[in-house]
Amino acid sequence: MASTRKKIIWFSAVAIVVTIVDQWSKFVVRTTPDLHRLTIIEGWLQFNYTKNPGMAMGITWLDTWLISIIAMIATTVIIGYVLYIRERANLGFMIFMGMIVGGAVGNILDRLYMAIIGGYGGILDGHVVDFIHFKLEIGSWTVFPYIFNVADVFISIAIVALLLFGNYLLPPDPPKKTEEKTPEPELETEQGIQEVEPSKDEIKEIKEDVEKAEQTDKDDTPLKS
């Protein structure tokens, strides 16, 4: 497994590259009128420059400023999780998480300054620049009606890869700590706590020793005059 330092470098490098590529592509499309409406593959793919005030896929359930705050909090949580799990994670996981973070940061940057550039609001009011549009239709049904950007592409690739190859990419669970069991004190056996009774011969010898000691004490006592 790669070292922790190497994994952090790869994670950071991928996130930075994705952010730069995303912002560059948006700048080029935004500042080039000819790219605002451009057919790439007839009937399949075209550039369709739009400004998305909502979430991914054009979802607009919340105000733009609130979506911006939620996006920043979510990105911060993801970065914190990656740093927390970096030692158990493999290099592939760190690379794909770098793609997700880079894409998220690219869209957050749009929300921070695009409103100021466009003159329609302040920080957090910015609309995300989208321009990639699949036009494929089956009958009257559009296969993928949403317009997206390069950041969304990287995020989608990373999520799909983690879902398909999760067994190989997702970090393993932390090892369970085994509780050290303190040995229970051994109970004394019944035999160990019983007093050993002396034999008859030993009792006889003890009595003789006591009598001799008493006789010796009598002999050593001085006679009174």
The DSSP bridge partners found for residue 45 are 41, 134
Whether residue 151 lies inside any domain: the answer is yes
Whether residue 21 lies inside any domain: the answer is yes
Whole-angstrom CA distances from 137 to 36, 43, 44, 69, 134 are 21, 8, 8, 36, 9
Whether residue 215 lies inside any domain: the answer is no
Q: Is 220 a catalytic residue?
A: no
The two three-digit tokens of residue 221, written as one number: 């006592």
Confidence of residue 31 (pLDDT cuts 50, 70, 90): very high
Which one-letter amino acid corresponds to residue 121?
Answer: G
Tell which residue, 39, 139, 155, has the closest CA to residue 104.
155
Whether residue 8 lies inside any domain: the answer is yes
Whether residue 127 lies inside any domain: the answer is yes
Q: Of 22, 34, 130, 217, which is the active-site residue?
A: 130
Q: Is 152 a catalytic residue?
A: yes
Number of structural domains, the chain? 1
Q: What is the DSSP letter of 47?
A: E
Whether residue 113 lies inside any domain: the answer is yes
pLDDT tens-digit profile of 42-100?
888 999 999 998 876 666 677 888 989 999 999 999 999 999 999 999 999 999 999 99
Which range (87-91, 111-115, 153-157, 186-190) has the least confidence? Answer: 186-190
Q: Of 22, 110, 125, 152, which is the active-site residue?
A: 152
Residue range 99-108: mean pLDDT, rounded:
97
Confidence of residue 220 (pLDDT cuts 50, 70, 90): low
Domain extent at residue 113: 4-32+39-169
Burial class (CB in 10 A: 0-12, 13-18, 19+), 89: buried
Whether residue 87 lies inside any domain: the answer is yes
DSSP 115-155: HHHHTS--TT-PPEEEEEEE--EETTEES---EE-HHHHHH
Whether residue 131 lies inside any domain: the answer is yes
